[in-house]
Chains A and B, each alone.
Chain A
Protein backbone atom coordinates (compact mmCIF):
# COMPACT_ATOMS: atom_id res chain seq x y z
CA UNK A 1 0.00 0.00 0.00
CA UNK A 2 2.82 2.37 0.90
CA UNK A 3 4.65 1.55 -2.35
CA UNK A 4 1.42 2.02 -4.36
CA UNK A 5 0.93 5.39 -2.72
CA UNK A 6 4.51 6.39 -3.50
CA UNK A 7 4.21 5.34 -7.14
CA UNK A 8 0.92 7.21 -7.44
CA UNK A 9 2.52 10.40 -6.10
CA UNK A 10 5.31 9.98 -8.63
CA UNK A 11 2.80 9.59 -11.48
CA UNK A 12 0.97 12.73 -10.38
CA UNK A 13 4.24 14.63 -10.10
CA UNK A 14 5.18 13.60 -13.65
CA UNK A 15 1.78 14.64 -15.02
CA UNK A 16 1.92 18.03 -13.28
CA UNK A 17 5.49 18.52 -14.50
CA UNK A 18 4.44 17.81 -18.05
CA UNK A 19 1.78 20.52 -17.89
CA UNK A 20 4.24 22.96 -16.28
CA UNK A 21 6.90 22.25 -18.93
CA UNK A 22 4.40 22.93 -21.77
CA UNK A 23 3.54 26.19 -20.11
CA UNK A 24 7.22 27.07 -19.58
CA UNK A 25 7.87 26.45 -23.29
CA UNK A 26 5.07 28.86 -24.21
CA UNK A 27 6.53 31.48 -21.88
CA UNK A 28 9.90 31.12 -23.60
CA UNK A 29 8.23 31.57 -26.97
CA UNK A 30 6.48 34.69 -25.67
CA UNK A 31 9.78 36.10 -24.42
CA UNK A 32 11.62 35.38 -27.68
CA UNK A 33 8.87 36.32 -30.15
CA UNK A 34 7.13 39.60 -29.25
CA UNK A 35 4.40 38.98 -31.82
CA UNK A 36 3.51 35.76 -29.95
CA UNK A 37 2.86 37.66 -26.75
CA UNK A 38 1.15 40.80 -28.06
CA UNK A 39 -0.54 41.58 -31.37
CA UNK A 40 1.51 44.12 -33.31
CA UNK A 41 -1.51 46.32 -33.81
CA UNK A 42 -5.27 46.43 -34.22
CA UNK A 43 -5.06 45.86 -38.00
CA UNK A 44 -3.20 42.57 -37.45
CA UNK A 45 -5.98 41.34 -35.20
CA UNK A 46 -8.53 42.23 -37.85
CA UNK A 47 -6.51 40.26 -40.42
CA UNK A 48 -6.57 37.27 -38.04
CA UNK A 49 -10.32 37.69 -37.72
CA UNK A 50 -10.86 37.57 -41.49
CA UNK A 51 -8.96 34.26 -41.67
CA UNK A 52 -11.35 32.57 -39.23
CA UNK A 53 -14.23 30.47 -40.60
CA UNK A 54 -16.53 31.59 -37.84
CA UNK A 55 -16.47 33.61 -34.63
CA UNK A 56 -18.36 33.02 -31.40
CA UNK A 57 -21.16 35.49 -30.76
CA UNK A 58 -20.39 35.29 -27.05
CA UNK A 59 -17.05 34.26 -25.52
CA UNK A 60 -16.69 33.51 -21.83
CA UNK A 61 -13.49 33.58 -19.77
CA UNK A 62 -13.65 31.52 -16.59
CA UNK A 63 -10.80 32.12 -14.16
CA UNK A 64 -10.12 29.17 -11.87
CA UNK A 65 -7.10 30.82 -10.25
CA UNK A 66 -6.86 32.69 -6.95
CA UNK A 67 -4.70 35.53 -8.22
CA UNK A 68 -6.77 37.67 -10.59
CA UNK A 69 -5.00 40.18 -12.79
CA UNK A 70 -7.21 42.95 -14.19
CA UNK A 71 -4.69 43.91 -16.85
CA UNK A 72 -4.62 40.43 -18.36
CA UNK A 73 -8.41 40.11 -18.21
CA UNK A 74 -8.72 43.51 -19.88
CA UNK A 75 -6.38 42.34 -22.69
CA UNK A 76 -8.62 39.32 -23.28
CA UNK A 77 -11.69 41.56 -23.50
CA UNK A 78 -9.98 43.99 -25.85
CA UNK A 79 -8.59 41.24 -28.12
CA UNK A 80 -12.05 39.66 -28.32
CA UNK A 81 -13.67 42.94 -29.28
CA UNK A 82 -10.94 43.61 -31.88
CA UNK A 83 -11.62 40.22 -33.46
CA UNK A 84 -15.29 41.12 -33.73
CA UNK A 85 -16.75 39.38 -30.65
CA UNK A 86 -19.05 41.90 -28.97
CA UNK A 87 -20.33 39.85 -26.09
CA UNK A 88 -17.77 38.80 -23.49
CA UNK A 89 -18.31 37.35 -20.04
CA UNK A 90 -15.87 36.95 -17.16
CA UNK A 91 -16.42 34.39 -14.41
CA UNK A 92 -14.77 33.53 -11.13
CA UNK A 93 -16.38 31.55 -8.33
CA UNK A 94 -15.72 33.97 -5.48
CA UNK A 95 -16.88 37.16 -7.19
CA UNK A 96 -13.51 38.95 -7.16
CA UNK A 97 -13.99 40.17 -10.72
CA UNK A 98 -17.28 41.80 -9.72
CA UNK A 99 -15.65 43.30 -6.65
CA UNK A 100 -13.00 44.88 -8.90
CA UNK A 101 -15.42 46.07 -11.58
CA UNK A 102 -14.19 49.67 -11.61
CA UNK A 103 -10.52 48.68 -11.82
CA UNK A 104 -11.39 46.33 -14.65
CA UNK A 105 -13.35 49.01 -16.50
CA UNK A 106 -10.42 51.45 -16.21
CA UNK A 107 -7.99 48.82 -17.43
CA UNK A 108 -10.20 47.83 -20.38
CA UNK A 109 -10.37 51.44 -21.59
CA UNK A 110 -6.62 51.80 -21.11
CA UNK A 111 -5.85 48.68 -23.16
CA UNK A 112 -8.34 49.76 -25.80
CA UNK A 113 -6.58 53.08 -26.24
CA UNK A 114 -3.15 51.45 -26.37
CA UNK A 115 -4.30 49.04 -29.06
CA UNK A 116 -6.74 51.04 -31.12
CA UNK A 117 -5.77 54.65 -30.62
CA UNK A 118 -8.42 56.83 -32.26
CA UNK A 119 -10.69 53.92 -33.16
CA UNK A 120 -11.71 53.58 -29.49
CA UNK A 121 -14.69 55.84 -30.07
CA UNK A 122 -16.20 53.20 -32.39
CA UNK A 123 -17.09 51.08 -29.34
CA UNK A 124 -19.45 51.64 -26.43
CA UNK A 125 -19.04 49.33 -23.45
CA UNK A 126 -21.66 48.19 -21.03
CA UNK A 127 -20.56 46.22 -17.94
CA UNK A 128 -23.46 44.03 -16.83
CA UNK A 129 -23.77 42.33 -13.45
CA UNK A 130 -26.86 40.03 -13.36
CA UNK A 131 -27.02 40.12 -9.57
CA UNK A 132 -27.44 43.91 -9.47
CA UNK A 133 -31.03 43.60 -10.72
CA UNK A 134 -30.65 46.64 -12.90
CA UNK A 135 -33.30 47.77 -15.34
CA UNK A 136 -34.00 46.32 -18.74
CA UNK A 137 -31.12 47.45 -20.91
CA UNK A 138 -31.03 44.87 -23.62
CA UNK A 139 -27.95 44.12 -25.66
CA UNK A 140 -28.86 44.72 -29.26
CA UNK A 141 -25.80 42.99 -30.67
CA UNK A 142 -25.18 45.85 -33.09
CA UNK A 143 -21.67 46.51 -34.26
CA UNK A 144 -19.73 48.65 -31.81
CA UNK A 145 -21.99 47.94 -28.83
CA UNK A 146 -20.09 45.69 -26.45
CA UNK A 147 -21.47 43.98 -23.37
CA UNK A 148 -19.12 42.60 -20.71
CA UNK A 149 -21.00 40.33 -18.28
CA UNK A 150 -19.47 39.82 -14.86
CA UNK A 151 -20.43 36.46 -13.37
CA UNK A 152 -19.71 34.60 -10.14
CA UNK A 153 -20.82 31.47 -8.27
CA UNK A 154 -24.09 33.08 -7.17
CA UNK A 155 -25.10 33.44 -10.84
CA UNK A 156 -24.98 29.66 -11.16
CA UNK A 157 -27.34 27.26 -9.45
CA UNK A 158 -28.52 29.96 -7.04
CA UNK A 159 -29.76 32.16 -9.88
CA UNK A 160 -31.68 29.24 -11.43
CA UNK A 161 -33.39 28.52 -8.11
CA UNK A 162 -34.31 32.20 -7.76
CA UNK A 163 -35.91 32.12 -11.22
CA UNK A 164 -37.76 28.94 -10.16
CA UNK A 165 -39.07 30.83 -7.13
CA UNK A 166 -40.29 33.72 -9.30
CA UNK A 167 -42.03 31.31 -11.70
CA UNK A 168 -43.75 29.54 -8.79
CA UNK A 169 -44.86 32.85 -7.28
CA UNK A 170 -46.23 33.87 -10.66
CA UNK A 171 -48.15 30.60 -11.08
CA UNK A 172 -49.37 30.84 -7.49
CA UNK A 173 -50.78 34.32 -8.07
CA UNK A 174 -52.35 33.16 -11.34
CA UNK A 175 -50.20 35.48 -13.43
CA UNK A 176 -49.10 32.55 -15.57
CA UNK A 177 -50.18 29.03 -16.42
CA UNK A 178 -48.25 25.90 -15.53
CA UNK A 179 -49.48 23.60 -18.29
CA UNK A 180 -48.07 25.61 -21.19
CA UNK A 181 -44.74 26.36 -19.51
CA UNK A 182 -41.86 25.27 -21.76
CA UNK A 183 -38.06 25.22 -21.78
CA UNK A 184 -38.09 28.41 -23.89
CA UNK A 185 -40.36 30.12 -21.35
CA UNK A 186 -37.88 29.34 -18.58
CA UNK A 187 -34.96 30.39 -20.79
CA UNK A 188 -36.51 33.82 -21.36
CA UNK A 189 -36.56 34.42 -17.60
CA UNK A 190 -32.91 33.58 -17.01
CA UNK A 191 -30.71 36.57 -16.07
CA UNK A 192 -28.70 36.73 -19.30
CA UNK A 193 -31.36 35.71 -21.82
CA UNK A 194 -33.80 38.23 -20.34
CA UNK A 195 -31.29 40.94 -21.32
CA UNK A 196 -31.00 39.65 -24.88
CA UNK A 197 -27.59 38.08 -24.16
CA UNK A 198 -27.05 34.81 -26.01
CA UNK A 199 -25.49 31.73 -24.43
CA UNK A 200 -21.70 31.56 -24.67
CA UNK A 201 -20.59 29.65 -27.80
CA UNK A 202 -17.24 29.04 -26.21
CA UNK A 203 -15.52 29.25 -22.87
CA UNK A 204 -11.83 29.50 -22.10
CA UNK A 205 -10.95 28.20 -18.64
CA UNK A 206 -7.79 29.50 -17.03
CA UNK A 207 -5.96 27.41 -14.45
CA UNK A 208 -5.09 23.77 -13.99
CA UNK A 209 -8.41 22.93 -12.36
CA UNK A 210 -10.56 20.73 -14.63
CA UNK A 211 -13.89 21.80 -13.22
CA UNK A 212 -16.65 24.28 -14.01
CA UNK A 213 -16.63 25.43 -10.37
CA UNK A 214 -20.23 26.54 -10.24
CA UNK A 215 -20.31 28.27 -13.63
CA UNK A 216 -23.93 29.11 -14.57
CA UNK A 217 -25.25 25.72 -15.68
CA UNK A 218 -28.24 26.85 -17.75
CA UNK A 219 -26.17 28.70 -20.36
CA UNK A 220 -23.57 25.94 -20.82
CA UNK A 221 -25.77 23.75 -23.00
CA UNK A 222 -23.63 23.82 -26.18
CA UNK A 223 -20.60 25.79 -25.02
CA UNK A 224 -17.23 24.62 -26.36
CA UNK A 225 -14.88 24.42 -23.38
CA UNK A 226 -11.21 25.18 -24.02
CA UNK A 227 -8.53 25.60 -21.40
CA UNK A 228 -5.28 27.48 -20.99
CA UNK A 229 -2.71 27.05 -18.22
CA UNK A 230 -3.09 30.54 -16.76
CA UNK A 231 -4.46 33.99 -17.55
CA UNK A 232 -1.27 35.62 -16.18
CA UNK A 233 0.53 37.21 -19.14
CA UNK A 234 -1.56 35.06 -21.46
CA UNK A 235 0.03 35.32 -24.93
CA UNK A 236 -2.16 36.63 -27.75
CA UNK A 237 -1.34 33.58 -29.91
CA UNK A 238 -2.53 31.19 -27.19
CA UNK A 239 -5.80 33.12 -26.97
CA UNK A 240 -6.08 33.08 -30.79
CA UNK A 241 -5.50 29.32 -30.88
CA UNK A 242 -8.64 28.78 -28.77
CA UNK A 243 -10.70 30.87 -31.20
CA UNK A 244 -9.22 28.93 -34.12
CA UNK A 245 -10.19 25.65 -32.43
CA UNK A 246 -13.75 26.93 -32.11
CA UNK A 247 -13.78 28.12 -35.71
CA UNK A 248 -12.79 24.67 -36.94
CA UNK A 249 -15.30 22.63 -34.96
CA UNK A 250 -18.60 21.43 -36.40
CA UNK A 251 -21.86 21.40 -34.47
CA UNK A 252 -24.86 19.38 -35.63
CA UNK A 253 -27.30 19.83 -32.73
CA UNK A 254 -28.47 16.27 -32.26
CA UNK A 255 -28.95 15.34 -35.89
Chain B
Protein backbone atom coordinates (compact mmCIF):
# COMPACT_ATOMS: atom_id res chain seq x y z
CA UNK B 1 0.00 0.00 0.00
CA UNK B 2 1.11 3.51 -0.72
CA UNK B 3 1.82 5.93 2.12
CA UNK B 4 0.86 8.75 -0.24
CA UNK B 5 -2.17 8.64 -2.50
CA UNK B 6 -1.60 7.46 -6.02
CA UNK B 7 -0.83 10.05 -8.59
CA UNK B 8 -2.89 10.62 -11.60
CA UNK B 9 -6.22 10.03 -9.89
CA UNK B 10 -7.18 13.29 -11.52
CA UNK B 11 -5.51 12.37 -14.77
CA UNK B 12 -6.54 9.43 -16.92
CA UNK B 13 -3.61 7.76 -18.59
CA UNK B 14 -5.17 5.59 -21.23
CA UNK B 15 -8.45 5.63 -23.12
CA UNK B 16 -8.23 1.96 -24.08
CA UNK B 17 -11.44 0.25 -25.15
CA UNK B 18 -10.92 -2.37 -22.44
CA UNK B 19 -11.04 0.38 -19.85
CA UNK B 20 -14.19 1.89 -21.31
CA UNK B 21 -15.80 -1.54 -21.22
CA UNK B 22 -14.91 -1.93 -17.58
CA UNK B 23 -16.35 1.48 -16.78
CA UNK B 24 -19.63 0.65 -18.54
CA UNK B 25 -19.75 -2.69 -16.75
CA UNK B 26 -19.26 -0.96 -13.41
CA UNK B 27 -22.15 1.33 -14.06
CA UNK B 28 -24.33 -1.61 -15.08
CA UNK B 29 -24.58 -0.15 -18.54
CA UNK B 30 -26.42 2.93 -17.21
CA UNK B 31 -25.68 6.49 -18.19
CA UNK B 32 -23.92 8.60 -15.60
CA UNK B 33 -26.87 10.92 -15.03
CA UNK B 34 -29.38 8.12 -14.50
CA UNK B 35 -30.48 7.50 -10.97
CA UNK B 36 -33.01 5.24 -9.25
CA UNK B 37 -36.05 6.22 -7.23
CA UNK B 38 -34.63 4.33 -4.26
CA UNK B 39 -31.39 6.30 -4.45
CA UNK B 40 -33.29 9.60 -4.70
CA UNK B 41 -35.34 8.54 -1.67
CA UNK B 42 -32.17 7.76 0.32
CA UNK B 43 -30.66 11.07 -0.72
CA UNK B 44 -33.76 12.91 0.52
CA UNK B 45 -33.66 11.03 3.84
CA UNK B 46 -30.01 12.00 4.24
CA UNK B 47 -30.78 15.64 3.47
CA UNK B 48 -33.20 15.70 6.43
CA UNK B 49 -30.01 15.86 8.53
CA UNK B 50 -26.96 18.13 8.34
CA UNK B 51 -24.92 17.92 5.12
CA UNK B 52 -21.21 18.85 5.08
CA UNK B 53 -20.49 21.98 3.05
CA UNK B 54 -16.89 20.99 2.28
CA UNK B 55 -15.61 17.45 1.76
CA UNK B 56 -11.96 16.48 1.31
CA UNK B 57 -11.09 13.19 -0.38
CA UNK B 58 -7.89 11.15 -0.48
CA UNK B 59 -8.56 9.04 -3.56
CA UNK B 60 -6.47 5.96 -2.85
CA UNK B 61 -6.46 2.47 -4.36
CA UNK B 62 -6.04 2.81 -8.14
CA UNK B 63 -3.01 0.53 -8.29
CA UNK B 64 -4.56 -2.16 -6.14
CA UNK B 65 -7.69 -1.96 -8.25
CA UNK B 66 -5.63 -2.45 -11.41
CA UNK B 67 -3.99 -5.52 -9.81
CA UNK B 68 -7.30 -6.86 -8.54
CA UNK B 69 -8.98 -6.52 -11.96
CA UNK B 70 -5.83 -7.80 -13.67
CA UNK B 71 -5.65 -4.77 -15.90
CA UNK B 72 -2.68 -4.85 -18.23
CA UNK B 73 -1.39 -1.46 -17.04
CA UNK B 74 -1.59 0.41 -13.75
CA UNK B 75 -2.45 3.45 -15.85
CA UNK B 76 -5.81 1.87 -16.62
CA UNK B 77 -6.56 1.96 -12.92
CA UNK B 78 -5.81 5.69 -13.02
CA UNK B 79 -8.27 6.11 -15.90
CA UNK B 80 -11.02 4.54 -13.85
CA UNK B 81 -10.00 6.68 -10.90
CA UNK B 82 -10.55 9.81 -12.98
CA UNK B 83 -13.99 8.64 -14.10
CA UNK B 84 -14.84 7.97 -10.50
CA UNK B 85 -13.80 11.52 -9.53
CA UNK B 86 -16.08 13.05 -12.14
CA UNK B 87 -18.94 10.83 -10.98
CA UNK B 88 -18.32 11.63 -7.31
CA UNK B 89 -18.42 15.37 -7.97
CA UNK B 90 -21.91 14.92 -9.39
CA UNK B 91 -23.05 12.94 -6.34
CA UNK B 92 -21.62 15.60 -4.03
CA UNK B 93 -23.37 18.40 -5.89
CA UNK B 94 -26.62 16.41 -5.87
CA UNK B 95 -26.40 16.03 -2.10
CA UNK B 96 -25.73 19.72 -1.50
CA UNK B 97 -21.98 19.55 -0.91
CA UNK B 98 -20.61 22.73 -2.45
CA UNK B 99 -16.86 22.36 -2.04
CA UNK B 100 -14.65 19.35 -2.69
CA UNK B 101 -10.89 19.14 -2.19
CA UNK B 102 -8.94 16.24 -3.66
CA UNK B 103 -5.34 15.12 -3.29
CA UNK B 104 -3.92 14.63 -6.77
CA UNK B 105 -0.14 14.96 -6.59
CA UNK B 106 2.09 14.99 -3.53
CA UNK B 107 5.52 16.66 -3.49
CA UNK B 108 6.78 13.28 -2.20
CA UNK B 109 5.73 11.72 -5.50
CA UNK B 110 8.53 13.58 -7.26
CA UNK B 111 10.72 10.85 -5.71
CA UNK B 112 9.39 8.41 -8.31
CA UNK B 113 11.36 7.65 -11.45
CA UNK B 114 11.86 10.54 -13.88
CA UNK B 115 9.97 8.59 -16.49
CA UNK B 116 6.91 8.20 -14.31
CA UNK B 117 6.96 11.81 -13.13
CA UNK B 118 7.38 13.11 -16.71
CA UNK B 119 4.52 10.88 -17.76
CA UNK B 120 2.28 12.26 -15.04
CA UNK B 121 3.20 15.85 -15.94
CA UNK B 122 2.29 15.10 -19.53
CA UNK B 123 -1.06 13.76 -18.37
CA UNK B 124 -1.59 16.88 -16.28
CA UNK B 125 -0.98 18.99 -19.40
CA UNK B 126 -3.52 16.98 -21.37
CA UNK B 127 -6.19 16.97 -18.73
CA UNK B 128 -6.00 20.60 -17.74
CA UNK B 129 -6.04 21.53 -21.45
CA UNK B 130 -9.15 19.41 -21.92
CA UNK B 131 -10.67 21.12 -18.90
CA UNK B 132 -10.07 24.52 -20.53
CA UNK B 133 -11.91 23.24 -23.61
CA UNK B 134 -14.91 22.50 -21.40
CA UNK B 135 -15.03 26.18 -20.52
CA UNK B 136 -18.72 26.66 -21.35
CA UNK B 137 -19.79 23.71 -19.23
CA UNK B 138 -17.70 24.86 -16.29
CA UNK B 139 -19.04 28.42 -16.54
CA UNK B 140 -22.60 27.10 -16.90
CA UNK B 141 -22.27 25.20 -13.63
CA UNK B 142 -20.30 28.11 -12.11
CA UNK B 143 -17.57 25.88 -10.75
CA UNK B 144 -14.49 27.56 -9.32
CA UNK B 145 -11.38 25.46 -9.80
CA UNK B 146 -8.35 26.08 -7.64
CA UNK B 147 -5.06 24.26 -7.81
CA UNK B 148 -3.37 24.27 -4.44
CA UNK B 149 0.31 23.58 -3.99
CA UNK B 150 3.79 24.83 -4.78
CA UNK B 151 3.27 25.55 -8.45
CA UNK B 152 6.94 26.60 -8.80
CA UNK B 153 7.84 22.90 -8.69
CA UNK B 154 5.85 22.18 -11.85
CA UNK B 155 7.09 22.59 -15.44
CA UNK B 156 6.48 26.11 -16.76
CA UNK B 157 3.85 25.13 -19.33
CA UNK B 158 1.84 23.19 -16.72
CA UNK B 159 2.00 26.27 -14.48
CA UNK B 160 0.58 28.36 -17.33
CA UNK B 161 -2.33 26.01 -18.01
CA UNK B 162 -3.10 25.77 -14.29
CA UNK B 163 -3.02 29.56 -13.93
CA UNK B 164 -5.31 29.94 -16.93
CA UNK B 165 -7.80 27.49 -15.41
CA UNK B 166 -7.81 29.34 -12.10
CA UNK B 167 -8.15 32.78 -13.69
CA UNK B 168 -10.95 31.58 -15.93
CA UNK B 169 -13.03 30.26 -13.04
CA UNK B 170 -12.05 32.55 -10.16
CA UNK B 171 -15.34 34.48 -10.05
CA UNK B 172 -17.51 31.36 -10.00
CA UNK B 173 -19.25 30.78 -6.72
CA UNK B 174 -21.79 28.01 -6.98
CA UNK B 175 -19.34 25.15 -6.40
CA UNK B 176 -15.62 24.86 -5.71
CA UNK B 177 -13.20 22.13 -6.69
CA UNK B 178 -9.75 22.32 -5.07
CA UNK B 179 -7.08 20.10 -6.57
CA UNK B 180 -4.02 19.66 -4.38
CA UNK B 181 -1.15 19.39 -6.84
CA UNK B 182 2.55 19.51 -5.83
CA UNK B 183 1.22 19.70 -2.30
CA UNK B 184 2.07 18.51 1.15
CA UNK B 185 0.65 19.94 4.32
CA UNK B 186 4.00 20.49 6.02
CA UNK B 187 5.27 22.32 2.97
CA UNK B 188 2.13 24.45 3.05
CA UNK B 189 2.61 25.33 6.73
CA UNK B 190 6.32 26.13 6.17
CA UNK B 191 5.38 28.31 3.21
CA UNK B 192 2.84 30.08 5.43
CA UNK B 193 5.47 30.74 8.10
CA UNK B 194 7.82 32.14 5.43
CA UNK B 195 5.05 34.43 4.20
CA UNK B 196 4.57 35.73 7.74
CA UNK B 197 8.30 36.26 8.15
CA UNK B 198 8.33 38.19 4.89
CA UNK B 199 5.43 40.30 6.16
CA UNK B 200 7.36 41.10 9.33
CA UNK B 201 10.51 41.98 7.33
CA UNK B 202 8.47 44.33 5.13
CA UNK B 203 7.01 46.04 8.18
CA UNK B 204 3.46 44.92 7.36
CA UNK B 205 3.18 42.88 10.57
CA UNK B 206 4.66 42.77 14.03
CA UNK B 207 5.74 39.37 15.40
CA UNK B 208 3.11 39.82 18.13
CA UNK B 209 0.39 40.02 15.45
CA UNK B 210 0.93 36.37 14.60
CA UNK B 211 -1.94 34.13 15.63
CA UNK B 212 -3.50 30.92 14.31
CA UNK B 213 -5.95 32.86 12.18
CA UNK B 214 -3.26 35.06 10.58
CA UNK B 215 -1.12 31.99 9.83
CA UNK B 216 -4.12 30.28 8.18
CA UNK B 217 -4.50 33.23 5.82
CA UNK B 218 -1.06 32.37 4.42
CA UNK B 219 -1.97 28.81 3.45
CA UNK B 220 -2.84 27.66 -0.09
CA UNK B 221 -6.31 26.89 1.30
CA UNK B 222 -6.87 30.43 2.63
CA UNK B 223 -9.95 31.01 0.46
CA UNK B 224 -11.68 27.84 1.72
CA UNK B 225 -13.27 26.91 5.00
CA UNK B 226 -11.93 23.85 6.81
CA UNK B 227 -13.33 20.57 5.46
CA UNK B 228 -16.29 19.26 7.46
CA UNK B 229 -15.63 15.71 6.34
CA UNK B 230 -12.46 13.95 5.19
CA UNK B 231 -12.78 10.64 3.33
CA UNK B 232 -9.94 8.25 2.56
CA UNK B 233 -10.55 5.14 0.50
CA UNK B 234 -8.69 1.82 0.15
CA UNK B 235 -8.56 1.02 3.85
CA UNK B 236 -5.48 3.12 4.70
CA UNK B 237 -5.92 4.99 7.97
CA UNK B 238 -3.55 7.93 7.80
CA UNK B 239 -3.59 11.49 6.42
CA UNK B 240 -0.36 11.22 4.41
CA UNK B 241 0.54 14.91 4.80
CA UNK B 242 -2.82 16.09 3.45
CA UNK B 243 -4.62 19.04 5.10
CA UNK B 244 -3.12 18.22 8.50
CA UNK B 245 -3.98 21.68 9.91
CA UNK B 246 -7.32 22.08 8.16
CA UNK B 247 -8.68 18.69 9.23
CA UNK B 248 -8.04 19.20 12.96
CA UNK B 249 -11.77 19.45 13.52
CA UNK B 250 -13.04 17.46 10.54
CA UNK B 251 -15.05 14.28 10.78
CA UNK B 252 -12.87 11.42 9.48
CA UNK B 253 -14.21 8.55 7.43
CA UNK B 254 -11.79 5.77 6.49
CA UNK B 255 -13.40 3.43 3.98
CA UNK B 256 -12.10 0.06 2.82
CA UNK B 257 -13.41 0.50 -0.76
CA UNK B 258 -10.78 1.06 -3.44
CA UNK B 259 -11.22 4.45 -5.13
CA UNK B 260 -12.34 3.18 -8.57
CA UNK B 261 -15.01 1.12 -6.76
CA UNK B 262 -16.22 4.04 -4.66
CA UNK B 263 -20.00 4.15 -4.85
CA UNK B 264 -22.67 6.68 -3.96
CA UNK B 265 -23.52 4.42 -0.99
CA UNK B 266 -19.97 4.85 0.35
CA UNK B 267 -20.46 8.61 0.10
CA UNK B 268 -23.81 8.36 1.89
CA UNK B 269 -22.22 6.24 4.62
CA UNK B 270 -19.48 8.84 5.11
CA UNK B 271 -22.13 11.58 5.35
CA UNK B 272 -24.00 9.50 7.97
CA UNK B 273 -20.75 9.37 9.98
CA UNK B 274 -20.52 13.15 9.66
CA UNK B 275 -24.12 13.56 10.86
CA UNK B 276 -23.46 11.48 13.98
CA UNK B 277 -20.41 13.55 14.92
CA UNK B 278 -21.03 17.06 13.66
CA UNK B 279 -22.92 18.70 16.52
CA UNK B 280 -20.29 17.80 19.13
CA UNK B 281 -17.43 18.74 16.81
CA UNK B 282 -19.07 22.09 16.02
CA UNK B 283 -19.39 22.89 19.73
CA UNK B 284 -15.73 22.06 20.37
CA UNK B 285 -14.62 24.03 17.31
CA UNK B 286 -16.67 27.04 18.44
CA UNK B 287 -14.94 26.93 21.83
CA UNK B 288 -11.59 26.65 20.07
CA UNK B 289 -12.36 29.60 17.77
CA UNK B 290 -13.30 31.67 20.80
CA UNK B 291 -9.85 30.95 22.25
CA UNK B 292 -8.21 31.83 18.91
CA UNK B 293 -9.95 35.22 18.87
CA UNK B 294 -8.33 35.91 22.25
CA UNK B 295 -4.90 34.68 21.19
CA UNK B 296 -3.58 38.13 20.26
CA UNK B 297 -4.77 39.54 23.59
CA UNK B 298 -2.81 36.89 25.46
CA UNK B 299 0.38 37.61 23.57
CA UNK B 300 3.38 37.95 25.85
CA UNK B 301 5.28 40.11 23.39
CA UNK B 302 5.50 43.87 23.12
CA UNK B 303 1.88 44.55 22.24
CA UNK B 304 -0.92 44.42 24.76
CA UNK B 305 -0.75 41.62 27.33
CA UNK B 306 -4.26 41.89 28.74
CA UNK B 307 -6.51 39.18 30.05
CA UNK B 308 -9.96 38.40 28.73
CA UNK B 309 -11.65 39.77 31.82
CA UNK B 310 -9.84 43.09 31.38
CA UNK B 311 -11.20 43.30 27.84
CA UNK B 312 -14.68 42.56 29.09
CA UNK B 313 -14.40 45.31 31.70
CA UNK B 314 -13.15 47.78 29.13
CA UNK B 315 -15.95 46.94 26.73
CA UNK B 316 -18.53 47.29 29.49
CA UNK B 317 -17.04 50.68 30.28
CA UNK B 318 -17.22 51.60 26.61
CA UNK B 319 -20.91 50.61 26.52
CA UNK B 320 -21.61 52.85 29.52
CA UNK B 321 -19.74 55.72 27.87
CA UNK B 322 -21.65 55.28 24.63
CA UNK B 323 -24.94 55.27 26.51
CA UNK B 324 -23.95 58.48 28.28
CA UNK B 325 -22.85 60.09 25.01
CA UNK B 326 -19.10 59.60 25.23
CA UNK B 327 -17.59 57.69 22.29
CA UNK B 328 -13.83 57.63 22.72
CA UNK B 329 -11.91 54.37 22.22
CA UNK B 330 -9.75 52.96 24.97
CA UNK B 331 -6.07 52.19 24.52
CA UNK B 332 -6.75 48.48 24.24
CA UNK B 333 -9.37 48.95 21.56
CA UNK B 334 -7.00 51.23 19.65
CA UNK B 335 -4.31 48.58 19.66
CA UNK B 336 -6.82 45.89 18.71
CA UNK B 337 -8.04 48.00 15.79
CA UNK B 338 -4.46 48.62 14.64
CA UNK B 339 -3.66 44.91 14.92
CA UNK B 340 -6.71 44.03 12.82
CA UNK B 341 -5.78 46.74 10.30
CA UNK B 342 -2.25 45.39 9.91
CA UNK B 343 -3.48 41.82 9.46
CA UNK B 344 -6.10 42.88 6.91
CA UNK B 345 -3.57 44.88 4.87
CA UNK B 346 -1.07 42.02 5.04
CA UNK B 347 -3.64 39.53 3.73
CA UNK B 348 -4.61 41.94 0.93
CA UNK B 349 -0.95 42.28 -0.09
CA UNK B 350 -0.53 38.49 -0.08
CA UNK B 351 -3.62 37.98 -2.26
CA UNK B 352 -2.48 40.69 -4.64
CA UNK B 353 0.97 39.07 -4.96
CA UNK B 354 -0.64 35.71 -5.68
CA UNK B 355 -2.93 37.20 -8.33
CA UNK B 356 0.05 38.96 -9.96
CA UNK B 357 1.87 35.61 -10.05
CA UNK B 358 -1.12 34.00 -11.79
CA UNK B 359 -1.55 36.93 -14.20
CA UNK B 360 2.12 36.71 -15.19
CA UNK B 361 1.64 33.05 -16.11
CA UNK B 362 -1.69 33.64 -17.80
CA UNK B 363 -2.18 37.28 -18.80
CA UNK B 364 -5.85 38.39 -18.71
CA UNK B 365 -6.04 38.79 -22.53
CA UNK B 366 -5.52 35.03 -22.94
CA UNK B 367 -8.72 34.10 -21.05
Binding site for B on A (CB under 8 A): 1, 4-5, 7-8, 11-12, 15-16, 93, 153, 156-158, 160-161, 163-165, 167-169, 171-172, 178, 181-183, 185-187, 208-215, 217-218, 220-226, 249-255
Asked if residues B250 and A211 are in contact (CB atoms below 8 Å), the reply is yes
Q: Interface readout for B200-243 with A: 1 if CB under 8 Å, 0 if not?
A: 11000101101110110000000000000000000011111100
Q: Mark B90-118, 1 if CB is under 8 A from A, else 0.
A: 00000000000000001011011000000
26 inter-chain pairs at a CB distance below 8 angstroms, sorted by A residue, are A5-B49, A7-B48, A157-B292, A158-B291, A160-B189, A161-B214, A164-B192, A168-B196, A171-B197, A172-B197, A178-B198, A183-B186, A185-B190, A186-B186, A209-B277, A210-B277, A211-B250, A213-B281, A217-B247, A217-B248, A220-B244, A221-B186, A251-B3, A253-B111, A254-B109, A254-B111
A-B pair count, CB < 8 Å, reads 178
Residues A186 and B239 in contact, CB atoms below 8 Å apart: no
Cβ-defined contact, B280 with A222, below 8 A: no
Pairs of residues from A and B, 9 with the lowest C-beta to C-beta distance, nearest first: A254-B108, A254-B4, A4-B48, A217-B244, A5-B48, A171-B197, A165-B210, A169-B207, A251-B3
A141 to B288, CA, bound (A): 34
Decide if B284 is an interface residue (CB 8 Å cutoff).
Answer: yes
Does B165 belong to the interface (CB within 8 Å)?
Answer: no
Is B254 interfacial (CB-CB < 8 Å)? Answer: yes
B281 and A224 form a contact (CB under 8 A): no
B252 close to A225 (CB less than 8 A) = yes
Q: How near does chain A come to B330, taking the closest CB pair, in angstroms?
A: 25
Which of B39-47, B77-85, B123-131, B314-322 touches A?
B39-47
Chain B residues within 8 Å of A249, by CB: 1, 236
Give the number of residues in B that approach A within 8 Å (Cβ atoms).
65
A249 to B3, CA, bound (A): 10
* Contact yes or no, B2 A252, CB < 8 A: yes
- Contact partner of B45 (CB less than 8 A), chosen from A4, A157, A221, A223, is A4
Contact pick for B248, options A156, A164, A178, A254, CB 8 Å: A156
Asked if B288 and A4 sit within 8 Å, CB to CB, the answer is: no
Given contacts A182-B190, A212-B252, is CB(A222)–CB(B284) below 8 Å? no
Q: How far, in Å, is B175 (CB) from chain A's closest CB?
A: 24
- Nearest residue (CB) in B for A170 is B197
